[in-house]
Amino acid sequence: MANDTAQIHNDTDGMALALAWAAKGMFITAPNPRVGCVIVRDGVVIGAGHTQPAGQAHAEIEAMRDARRRGHDVAGATAYVTLEPCSHYGRTPPCSNALVQAGVKRVVAAMLDPNPLVAGRGLAQLEAAGIAVTSGVLAEQAHELNIGFFSRMRRGLPWVRLKVAASLDGATALADGESQWITGPDARADGHAWRARAQAILTGIGTVKADDPQLTVRGIDTPLPPRRVIVDSRLEIDLGARILQGEPCWIVAALEVQEKSAEKAALLRAAGHEVILLPNATGKVDLPALMRELGRREINEVHVEAGSKLNASMVREGCVDELLVYLAPSLIGPGQGMFALPPLARLADQRRLRFHDLARVGDDIRILARFINTDITTKE
């Protein structure tokens, strides 16, 4: 947690505290990045804040307001901000202008903003106004916090995280589909935290039919609940499915030509859901096109919880950046697997990942592994 009473001895201390403040905005800032700012004078924090929901104040403005509430003038102080201050008029005025007008002496940014409308211009404006500028402090941590925003700005695609929970021998369910519960309550709670940080939760019609899930976030306050996205090529979804209750869903189909399908699409739309038609040449949903569409809709992070068939299709078509795997200390034997991938002719064709993080969560192990060819560089 952020400790505003801590003495700031150096830039690393200042940025670490700014990152702690940025994390406080984890579930509220989308589609904007999660940004934190602390303002320091003589090693003492005089103001701190994080970016508010879209259309409201950014972190720098919040920190300066906080300083004024505490009775401080920020003139001559140092501002630590986890992303380059914006320099353009969007939903809010430029933060770089506000910092110049406030008379801060120095600005330390973790990273340049990947938004083409900013991309170095914010820091250049500060330097032109005589403010000392430093960047690249704790850049990797800042990048991780906003990996989806960086992905969308640089690739036009959200960062896609595919979650599976399995036994130590790789089974996600018994052969008959029973899967509740392989992993323990701590792992399940942790999974909800990962759901909550995404802007979309994606599943397939097979999972909806088999499990009738809600795919909502539970146990975490999420003012902006993730949009639920269902890949359903032939519009087979039951209108009474639990996933259709509550907030509207996006149902992604490949056809709407049959009378029955057209009628169901009309009923779904009448209930507030959106039917998106994205067919590929084989009559299935075009998954890469879906990822591009989600990026266009300003989705930064996608959390996938699906069955082995859709999991395999997502991986095969290059739509997954990262695996979030929970392994339970148990053996199930023959059952349903993580990915229904076809056999390889050569071992050289295996899809390679690198372990990014490994942690124990309750009695289970959590693995974050990233496909090597989809890493997004932190280089500016």
Cis check for the bond before 181: say yes or no (omega within 30 of 0): yes
CA dist 380 and 376 (Å) reads: 11
For the beta carbon of residue 309, count every other beta carbon within 10 angstroms: 14
Q: Which residues pair with 285 in a beta bridge?
A: 279
Residue 305 — left, alpha, or beta (φ > 0 → left; ψ -120 to 50 → alpha)? Answer: beta
CA dist 49 and 98 (Å) reads: 15
> 21 with 36: CB under 8 angstroms?
yes
> 235 with 261: CB under 8 angstroms?
yes
Rounded to the nearest 5 degrees, what angle is found at the Cα of 192, between the Cα atoms of 191 and 198? 100
Residue in the block written with tokens 């009695």: 363
11-23 and 59-69 helices, crossing angle to 10°: 100
| Closest C-alpha to 153, from 31, 290, 52 | 31
Give DSSP secondary structure letters for 250-263. Answer: EEEES---SHHHHH
Active-site residue among 60, 301, 305, 322? 60
Strands 249-253 and 227-231: parallel
Q: Name 344's Cβ contacts closer than 8 Å, sequence gap at least 6.
A: 350
Q: Is 60 a catalytic residue?
A: yes
- What single DSSP character describes residue 118? T
Sign (positive or negative) of CA dihedral 242, 248, 250, 256: positive
| Closest C-alpha to 331, from 128, 201, 174 | 174
CA dist 32 and 55 (Å) reads: 9
Residue positions annotated with a catalytic role: 60
